[in-house]
């Protein structure tokens, strides 16, 4: 039997501030101090990961908070080795809370003789003894089927809907939600439905990978405030180009809401110099100093949502209730109060 006296959290090195924020948020919910389990996650001189847990976890319901963000391989190995340490220490159940699931873009074979790395990572996580996954905005929903364990995929759309309604109140009739490609239409339509706005699409045609040859706007954006919605922003080339195309099509201003701000290479510089008025990302990936200093990048916290998701998992209550904006409204009351 799982000891349900209190859930216990442990974190790797991928996103310490988010792990601490989740623990603080759970403390508010529980009315008692919830802190991260005392442990060390270090490297030997040759780069090997070493984990030592200083507290007793026998019979405990453990939650590992670890994004597999850059450096993806190091953080993935930390997750696997922490899970092995907990399993060998007789933890009753191990849940991996993975705010950003790396390798998710490798979910199918696009060419001959290429891997399906997302499936390989799913196998590794399952074999490490992890019994449940709690994640946010998987790049491809079918990745849930790669696991033989339960996967709860939370969505940023309800939180983004609160943010849009708060920051664009009084002018929502002039807002159009935009998908940056045909593949992301379902995600954009979901947010458009939540905020009651029109939908447009930027159709892009590539001549070769990594290069955007041509972009066309499908839908009327003239005189509109456009909000681009996507799950991942990596180098920001496509995003900044889409913003330019929308402005050329007559949009008055362009904003973007992206769940996972990978923001590698020249991304921050591109965004700072782009025509976009703002880029809103979550803290699923720990922001760099450059991201924090960028004047037009804003970060929305995910700790309230993950804290509630962990509590619901621990208590055995509905996690899908967090798909509703109305459910999240009281959780985010401090941020979006009228």
Active-site residues: which are they? 204
* C-alpha separations of 193 from 69, 281, 310 in Å: 30, 20, 27
Closest-CA residue to 102 (of 64, 129, 76): 76
Instruction: Give the containing element (helix H, strand E) for 188.
Output: helix 185-195
In sequence order, the 6+-apart residues with CB closer than 8 A to the CB of 111 are none
The packing angle between helices 157-167 and 185-195, to 10°, is: 50
3-state secondary structure 51-99: EEECCCCCCEEEEEECCCCCCHHHHHHHHHHHHHHHHHCCCCEEEEEEC
Rounded to the nearest angstrom, the gap between the alpha carbon of residue 300 and the centroid of all alpha carbons in its chain is 11
The packing angle between helices 16-30 and 303-315, to 10°, is: 60
Closest-CA residue to 150 (of 90, 205, 96): 96
Closest-CA residue to 261 (of 213, 319, 302): 302
Q: Locate 103 and state its tokens.
A: 């390798």
Query: 């009739």: which residue's tokens?
Result: 173
Q: How many residues are recorded in the chain?
A: 338
């Amino acid at each position: 039997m799982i000891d349900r006296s209190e859930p216990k959290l442990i974190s790797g090195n991928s996103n310490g501030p988010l792990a601490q924020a989740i623990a603080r948020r759970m403390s508010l919910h529980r009315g008692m101090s919830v802190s991260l389990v005392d442990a060390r996650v270090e490297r030997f001189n040759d780069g090997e990961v070493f984990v030592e847990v200083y507290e007793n976890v026998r019979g405990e319901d453990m939650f590992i908070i670890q994004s597999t963000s850059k450096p993806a391989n190091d953080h993935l190995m930390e997750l696997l080795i922490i899970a092995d340490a907990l399993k060998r220490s007789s933890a009753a159940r191990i849940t991996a809370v993975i705010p950003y699931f790396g390798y998710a873009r490798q979910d199918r074979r696009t060419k001959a003789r290429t891997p399906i790395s997302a499936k390989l990572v799913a196998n590794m996580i399952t074999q490490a003894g992890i019994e449940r996954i709690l994640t946010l905005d998987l790049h491809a929903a079918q990745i849930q089927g790669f696991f033989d364990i339960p996967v709860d995929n939370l969505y940023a759309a309800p939180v983004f809907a609160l943010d849009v309604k708060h920051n664009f109140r009084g002018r929502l009739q002039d807002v159009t939600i935009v998908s940056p490609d045909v593949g992301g239409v379902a995600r954009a339509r979901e947010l458009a439905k939540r905020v009651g706005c029109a939908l447009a699409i930027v159709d892009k045609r590539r001549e070769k990978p990594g290069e955007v040859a041509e972009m066309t706007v499908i839908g009327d954006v003239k005189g509109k405030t456009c909000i681009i919605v996507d799950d991942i922003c990596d180098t920001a080339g496509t995003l900044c180009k889409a913003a330019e195309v929308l402005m050329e099509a007559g949009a008055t201003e362009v904003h973007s809401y992206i769940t996972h701000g990978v923001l590698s290479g020249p991304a921050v510089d591109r965004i700072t110099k782009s025509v976009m008025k703002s880029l809103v990302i979550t803290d699923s990936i720990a922001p760099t100093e450059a991201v924090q200093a960028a004047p037009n990048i804003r970060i929305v916290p995910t700790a309230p949502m993950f804290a509630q998701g962990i509590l619901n998992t621990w208590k055995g209550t509905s996690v899908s209730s967090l798909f509703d904006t109305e459910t999240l409204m009281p959780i985010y009351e401090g941020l979006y109060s009228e």
